[in-house]
Structure 1
Amino acid sequence: MGKADWEHDELIENWTLVPQELELVRNKVGGNQIGFALLLKHFQLFARFPEQQSSIPQVIISYIANQIKIPESAYSSFDWQGRSAKVYRVEIRRLFNFRVATVQDSAQISDWLIQEILPNEQRIEPITQIVYQRFRELQIEPTTAGQVERLIRSSIHQYETSFCQQVFDQLTTKNIAEEGLNVVERWNGVNDFIFYGKGG
């Protein structure tokens, strides 16, 4: 999630369940209510699901539990990798008109990075935020954080390799042109000697 400390005003702004969301939550049972609510609000805020159950700060769990009037300890009974959690993720994606990222999506984002972003920015942290924003704009749930980092590093490597090759090619072309000019000049000098003699 990244952010661990949330002020009360931030909790109200970002983690308050509106009536329509509360209705969706109350269709679930027991600990699944708080699990669904956290998945829903996290996706709404970050356009991706938390990767680990432990990544949700306790202050957020408490705030959500208080809204749906169940003990915050109920969160521990929510099976993060269980069938219900998987069904909830599908439901939430549909709610926001998102889909899961494919290999082709990652390849296209890599191409986009190389062409549009990396010529001006190559720091991992800013690029990571740019990539997540790109996924959000395309309404695609991103891959895991580890996969996103590997995508970025691979794109940077491709960009640097291509850039170095372009520089090398330009230098090689320039050297060939300069060498060709030198050959012409030497040839002209030889011709002058042949036609006009050593003394001109």
Structure 2
Amino acid sequence: MKRTWTSEELLEHFTLLPDELTAVGNKSGATRLGFAVLFKCFQYEGRFLRSRQEAAPEVVRFLATQVGVDAAIFAQYAWEGRAIEVHRAQIREIAKVHEFHRADEEALLDWLCTEIFDHEHHPERLRDLIRAECRTRAIEAPDDIPALIETGLLAYEAQIYTVIMALLAPEVQDRLDALLVAPPVAEGEEEEELPLSLLRLDPRPVGVESALSEIAKLRALRAIGLPIDLFQRYAPKLVEHLRRRIAAKSPSHIRQHPPAIRMTLLAALIFQCTQEVTDALVTLLIQIVHRIGKRAERRVESA
């Protein structure tokens, strides 16, 4: 729970409505304030606070004023025992929600993998989506949403590895693995760079040689034979995320990954490299044509 609140936020999220005041009405002292804090924070967070310290002091003071008790006595509210369990049960009944169980976790993970992760990976937005979904399902939000997201992403990526691996023909997989192997060199010659290293090189300064180099690079990338629609169902941000997993790693490190993971990450790298080299080549050709035009203009002017 965040620690600072504006007056407008306190009024919007922590004002006790008449029927809520009725639920608080038969309690007194620390129990009265504790119930009010537990109730309104549950409404906002979608889950019960894990400790007294999670409640923002401003929220406690704002609610204390409404229920007519001293905010300082909130420290006396027992966070363990029968009383708080009874209060949680009462709040669930009022809110018409049930406790978060293992089956709810599995259902949320399935929902994330099938409906959400294809287009959203931002932690804060995922947290908000999960809380909203829990409200829709009339269940408490999980205590550790970041852990749920991490578990879901791991499961989602495992699905991606399986799908991509199945779409790559054996000969394509061989070509991807070949990027991690340096070509043999004769004794006394300098060791050549790995094919993967060559594909990572940025274009040289504008010129015909640079354009020819990029054309050769593009041909090499296309010769690998990745299906054009390999990542069609996945968001570009996800493909970029997969690419970053190995973008700066050494070939020996990449070879340590299990085949399905290695093939998927290499395919993401080659897929994006192909797009980038194509864009770079177009830019180079435009610049070359522009340079030729400028030279022609100068020759005409000097003639």
- Range class of TM-score, shorter chain: 0.7 to 0.9
* Aligned residue in 2 for 1:159: 156
Q: Secondary structure at the match of 1:141?
A: coil
Structure 2, gaps ≥5 residues long: 174-303
* Aligned residue in 2 for 1:67: 66
Q: Deviations over 1:33-84 (max 9, x none)?
A: 0000111111222322112211111111111111121111110110012211
Q: 2:146 aligns with which of 139, 143, 149?
A: 149
* Aligned residue in 1 for 2:17: 18
**Same amino acid, percent of matched pairs:** 28
Task: For 1:38 and 1:98, locate their aligned partners in 2 and report how far apart those are by CA, in whole Å.
Answer: 18
Task: For 2:73 and 2:141, locate their aligned partners in 1 and report how far apart those are by CA, in whole Å.
Answer: 28
Deviation at 1:174, TM superposition (A): 7.2
Structure 1, gaps ≥5 residues long: 177-200
Q: Deviations over 1:70-105 (max 9, x none)?
A: 111110110012211111000000111100111111
Number of residues of Structure 1 aligned to a counterpart in Structure 2 = 173
Q: Secondary structure at the match of 2:168?
A: helix
State the AA in 2 paired with 1:139: A
State the AA in 1 paired with 2:19: Q
TM-score of the aligned structures, taking structure 2 as reference length: 0.54
1:106-185 to 2 correspondences below 5 Å? 106-145=105-144, 148-172=145-169, 175=172
Deviates more, 1:41-50 or 1:98-107: 41-50
* Aligned residue in 1 for 2:4: 5
Deviation at 1:175, TM superposition (A): 4.9
RMSD of Structure 2 on Structure 1 (CA):
1.8
Task: For 1:15 and 1:58, locate their aligned partners in 2 and report how far apart those are by CA, in whole Å.
Answer: 13
Q: Deviations over 1:3-33 (max 9, x none)?
A: 2211112212221212222222121132000
Task: For 1:126 and 1:174, locate their aligned partners in 2 and report how far apart those are by CA, in whole Å.
Answer: 40
Q: Deviations over 1:106-152 (max 9, x none)?
A: 1111111111111112233322221121111101012212xx32222
TM-score of the aligned structures, taking structure 1 as reference length: 0.80
Higher relative contact order (CA 8 A, sep 6+): 1
* Aligned residue in 2 for 1:57: 56
Task: For 1:66 and 1:171, locate their aligned partners in 2 and report how far apart those are by CA, in whole Å.
Answer: 65
* Aligned residue in 1 for 2:260: none
Greater helix fraction, Structure 1 or Structure 2: 1
